[in-house]
Amino acid sequence: MCAILDANVIHEVFGINATEAGKQFWDWMNSHKGRLVVGGKLLRELKIASGEFLEWSRQAQFSGKLNIQNQERINAKMKDLHVAGRCQSDDAHIIALAQISGARLLFSNDRALQQDFKNKELINNPRGKIYSTLRGSDFTTSHKNLLSRRDLCVSKH
């Protein structure tokens, strides 16, 4: 399964102050089950936000834990989203990344982005799912169930 990590929660996964939900996401990313999808603007945001992410990403790319999508494809899809005016958030780059990569799990605490990600007109087959710590940083049954799903990464070629 693959997922997208929003820059607004990177501190919960990387660094000394990681939350319990973030630590479990970290463990999932580094297991045989997980793969993080990045690209374009999001990749730049993550690298700027966390030196730990930058270090991890170098090794993760070689081990298949990090999938970097083509920036030009993301930018083209993002432009289409802007022209259509379909995103409520200012994160069309993340919606474009999900559409191109097939990732259907998003770790984010941005409410507007969460609404876009759950919008079936933007993310569908399967619908987007949200991993969030807005209600608390504990690792809940809901978090566990999301990380154990196998259907949240659509094969895109």
Q: What pLDDT was estimated at residue 18?
A: 95
Angle at 156 between CA 74 and CA 63, to 5 degrees: 85
Q: What would the pLDDT profile of 2-35 be if each residue is shown by its tens digit?
A: 999 999 999 999 988 899 999 999 999 999 889 9
Tokens, residue 116: 């876009």
Q: What would the pLDDT profile of 85-130 be if each residue is shown by its tens digit?
A: 889 999 999 999 999 999 999 999 999 999 999 999 999 989 999 9
Q: CB neighbours of 28 closer than 8 A, spacing ≥ 6?
A: 34, 147
Q: What pLDDT was estimated at residue 157?
A: 44
Q: What pLDDT was estimated at residue 1?
A: 80
Q: What would the pLDDT profile of 40-93 be if each residue is shown by its tens digit?
A: 999 999 999 999 999 999 999 999 999 999 999 999 999 999 888 889 999 999
DSSP 130: E
Q: What pLDDT was estimated at residue 155?
A: 67
Higher-confidence residue of 13 and 152: namely 13
The amino acid that residue 88 corresponds to is Q
Tokens, residue 99: 């559409």
What are the DSSP E strand ranges found in the chain?
2-5, 35-38, 66-68, 105-107, 129-131
